[in-house]
Structure 1
Amino acid sequence: MQSRAFSGLVVIGLLTLVYFIAGKFGLMLASLHASASPVWPPAGIALGALLVLGYRAWPAIFVGAFLVNVTTEGNVATSLAVASGNTLEAVCGAWLVNRFAGGTTVFDRPQGVFKFALAAVVSTIISPAFGVTSLALAGFADWTNYGAIWLTWWLGDTTGDLLVAPLIILWSIASKRRWNRSEAVEAGILLLLLFVLSEAVFCGWLTIPARNYPFPFVIFGPIAIWTAFRFAQRETATGIFILSAFAIWGTMHGFGPFVGETKNQSLLSLQSWTTVLTITAMALSAGMAERGRAEEALRESEARINLAANAAKLGLWFWNIQNDELWVTEQWRRLFGFAESEPVSFDRVLQVVHPEDRARTKQLVQQMFESSGGDYENEYRITRPDGSTRWMAGHGSVELDERGKPAFARGVSRDITLRKHAEEELLESEARFRAMADTAPVMIWLSGPNKLCIFFNKGWLDFTG
């Protein structure tokens, strides 16, 4: 118990230190006001820490924020107010994400990404409201600049949430991805390309006119899309963070398309672009991850269906009637003698139906098309590639589209050859018994369990008339 408490204190202490260092770095970029920076990583650190560690980590945020501000601008009272606002902002943001966006699984779906962005936008209103107001009341901020300082503070916190919190959350979750050599090479090429383009755009390699906003989207948009489509959310968030670091450094040194009249205006423009790019890339990545999970679930479902169908010796099929595309299970192919890669269509299936049953089967399908859907059954023979004849029983149903036309059909096929042979042998046995009974010189009758007669031979019928 003591070791657990000690480890908790160590985590709190490390989080406080990280918050303090990140806060000092952020305030190095402040120009409009010493306490308001358009680049504020501590906001994302705080939100990510509360989502990963839980609300018990709030003292680290409070202490770290207090130390950052008390050593920068204002007095103890304003520093306490700012620290309270920063802490309350992180707690509120974490509560919103946990309550409405799925907590640490927020980046699993595109809807979660947008909810996370909305939670960041809403919760970051709290800190500038506390901070700018307390500084203005204490005389450390000019009321005439209240709106500009407030906007700078809010946008810095919002961007910090969107850039840093995803990194903390995604890297705290064990990855299920198993990298192979080709993926590692592709990731290396992508990272190298990101470095080269970042150097070219934000480090002075290319001369780009200021305010040329579409240029970064044209250059880095494909990179973000490539990362989102080919890799997971973790890699996407990391790539955006690296790009943002290059962009901030370049903009502060007067390079790139976001350079404006003042450093604060330049960074505000850059952070607005980063926000849009981050939300777009993370939503695309989440969408691809969701699609991957759906495909994996579909493969698992098909595997389970195949396993159950194989165990029951049932062949399952699904027919897209409009496109004449048939999806069949492995067991169905074995029943009908189709090769694994052989294409299957209705006309191709008709070719293996026994000639004596082909017209009846085709007529049944035609009646199915003309009816209003429903279920159907059919027993027919097929001729397998080895020349053998097998009896099949088909059970299926038809689904209609919005115009009332047959759109899909699904069903199951099973081999009933043994049953048919048993029925034929039973009929032959009954015929032999009847022939023997009719020629016997005695009267024969049979009754069932209910004492009712079920058979009379010819002698009995002739005698009784």
Structure 2
Amino acid sequence: MATVVGNQGLRRPLGFVLLTAAVAVCYFAAGRLGLLRQLVVEGAVVTPVWPPTGVALACLLLFGMRSWLGVALGALLVVFSISSVQPDVIGTLVGNTAAPVCACYLLRRVGFRTDLARLRDGFALVFLGALLSMLISATVGAGCLVLSGKLAANSFWLVWSAWWVGDAMGVLIVTPVLLLVPRAHWPPRRSRWKEAAGLAVVAGVLVPFATHSADSMLFLVYPLVIWAALRFQLAGSMLCALFASVLATVAATDESGPFAGLSRVAIMIKLQAFNGAMALTALLLSAVITEQLNTRRSVEQACKELVEVLEHLTAGESPQVRSAREAQERRGQSQSG
């Protein structure tokens, strides 16, 4: 018995260490990907979409609050990869860790479900997880830049808004995709392969054209997202949204296509308006459709159970009761005729 207890005691710290390391590596990898595309706003380097916030929130929701240390270590690794640790950087680390932790806490308080099968879950992720909680990281980060003298006070709000929207976009676009991973069914049903392949082909042609056309064809992406939401719910719509967001971000940072000839601020506004509207459409529409499908399945199951109960009751009737009921039914039919 002592050996068993000792093994369990060792297994728990080992599991925590492995979880912390895995979360930190995922956060760091997402941070390096986010840093590949940057925009300069008022002398400050910002990322239009910051994927680590989405990774951090997904890890906290899936593995619990104990993964906060992995988030903090991942953020520290990202900082080490681009600069040295300074007082303002420490404040940024605190903000980047506190924001997803606060988002996870708020979502749990309102009964958030990670399957995103209800409209209320979609609204909670948008308003509590993204828009509200990411105010923490943006405020702390931009505030530390001002206090350290790296950012002029009159540029605070512009950098703050870019920081806030970038973190919020990371939650809206990345978190739903990661929440789908534990529930993914592979291989998918063969009846859906052809349509899924057709959707992938259309997306592979339409999205690059829309995000790199000089005629500003970004609106062509929305029918594609709606199609994906109607037929494949959250998995299809969010993968399409992620693909479109990546290509739009590439076009924006390259100042090509619909973003050519615009100022850096105008590029940021146009890009974030597109990413935000697309992510909201994909997330909320798929939540509504999934909720309706679940309701229909529940009604069908209830009707099936009711039929089984009636058949059971009918089979248990005595011959006299059955004859009287059939005679009553015949009289009702003759009267109606």
Identify whether the pair has TM-score above 0.5, normalized to the shorter chain: yes
Distance in 2, matches of 1:263 and 1:39, equals: 15
Q: How many residues align?
A: 317
- TM-superposition CA deviations, 1:50-102 (whole Å, max 9, x none): 11111111111112222323543574211211010011101111111111251
Matched, 1:207 2:208: no
| CA distance 1:30–1:5, change in 2 (3 Å) | farther
1:144 CA displacement: 2.2
Distance in 1, matches of 2:308 and 2:187, equals: 26
Which of the two has greater strand per residue?
1
Which one-letter code corresponds to 1:185 in the other structure? K
Alignment of 1:212-361 (within 5 A): 212=216, 215-217=217-219, 219-259=220-260, 261-263=262-264, 265-313=266-314, 353=330, 358-359=334-335
1:253 CA displacement: 2.3
> Greater CA radius of gyration, 1 or 2?
1
Select 1:151's aligned residue among 130, 151, 161: 161
| CA distance 1:149–1:259, change in 2 (3 Å) | same
**2:118, 2:287 within 8 Å by CA — same for their partners in 1?**
yes
**1:35, 1:69 within 8 Å by CA — same for their partners in 2?**
no
**2:55, 2:174 within 8 Å by CA — same for their partners in 1?**
yes
1:234 CA displacement: 2.0
Matched, 1:26 2:15: no
Matched, 1:180 2:189: yes
Alignment of 1:63-462 (within 5 A): 63-72=73-82, 75-105=85-115, 107-119=116-128, 120-175=130-185, 179-203=188-212, 206-208=213-215, 212=216, 215-217=217-219, 219-259=220-260, 261-263=262-264, 265-313=266-314, 353=330, 358-359=334-335
| CA distance 1:354–1:26, change in 2 (3 Å) | closer
Q: Which runs of 4+ in 1 moved over 4 A?
A: 352-355
1:201 CA displacement: 1.9
Distance in 2, matches of 1:178 and 1:21, equals: 27
| CA distance 1:245–1:108, change in 2 (3 Å) | same
1:427 maps to which residue?
Answer: none
RMSD: 2.6
Which one-letter code corresponds to 1:139 in the other structure? G
1:174 CA displacement: 4.7
Give the stretch that moved more between structures: 248-257 or 140-149.
248-257
Distance in 2, matches of 1:43 and 1:268, equals: 20
1:272 CA displacement: 1.9
Name structure 2 gaps, 5 residues minimum.
1-7, 316-324
1:36 CA displacement: 2.8
Distance in 2, matches of 1:48 and 1:241, equals: 15
**1:66, 1:79 within 8 Å by CA — same for their partners in 2?**
no
**1:51, 1:104 within 8 Å by CA — same for their partners in 2?**
yes
Matched, 1:13 2:9: no
What SS does the corresponding residue of 2:257 show, helix, strand or coil?
A: coil
| CA distance 1:79–1:67, change in 2 (3 Å) | farther
| CA distance 1:24–1:179, change in 2 (3 Å) | closer
Matched, 1:3 2:32: no
1:260 CA displacement: 5.2
| CA distance 1:4–1:282, change in 2 (3 Å) | same
- TM-superposition CA deviations, 1:233-264 (whole Å, max 9, x none): 12221121111111111222233324452345
Give the stretch that moved more between structures: 57-66 or 40-49.
57-66
Distance in 1, matches of 2:24 and 2:265, equals: 27
What SS does the corresponding residue of 1:292 show, helix, strand or coil?
A: helix
1:295 CA displacement: 1.4
Identical residues among aligned pairs (%): 26
Which of the two has greater helix per residue?
2
1:423 maps to which residue?
Answer: none
Distance in 2, matches of 1:173 and 1:354, equals: 54
TM value normalised by structure 2: 0.85
- TM-superposition CA deviations, 1:9-39 (whole Å, max 9, x none): 1221122122123223323414224553222
TM value normalised by structure 1: 0.63
1:108 CA displacement: 0.9
Name structure 1 gaps, 5 residues minimum.
315-334, 337-349, 363-465
1:202 CA displacement: 2.2
What SS does the corresponding residue of 2:297 show, helix, strand or coil?
A: helix
What SS does the corresponding residue of 1:201 show, helix, strand or coil?
A: helix
- TM-superposition CA deviations, 1:109-141 (whole Å, max 9, x none): 122211210011000100011111112111122
1:354 CA displacement: 5.2
Distance in 1, matches of 2:81 and 2:280, equals: 34
**2:49, 2:166 within 8 Å by CA — same for their partners in 1?**
yes
Distance in 1, matches of 2:53 and 2:189, equals: 35
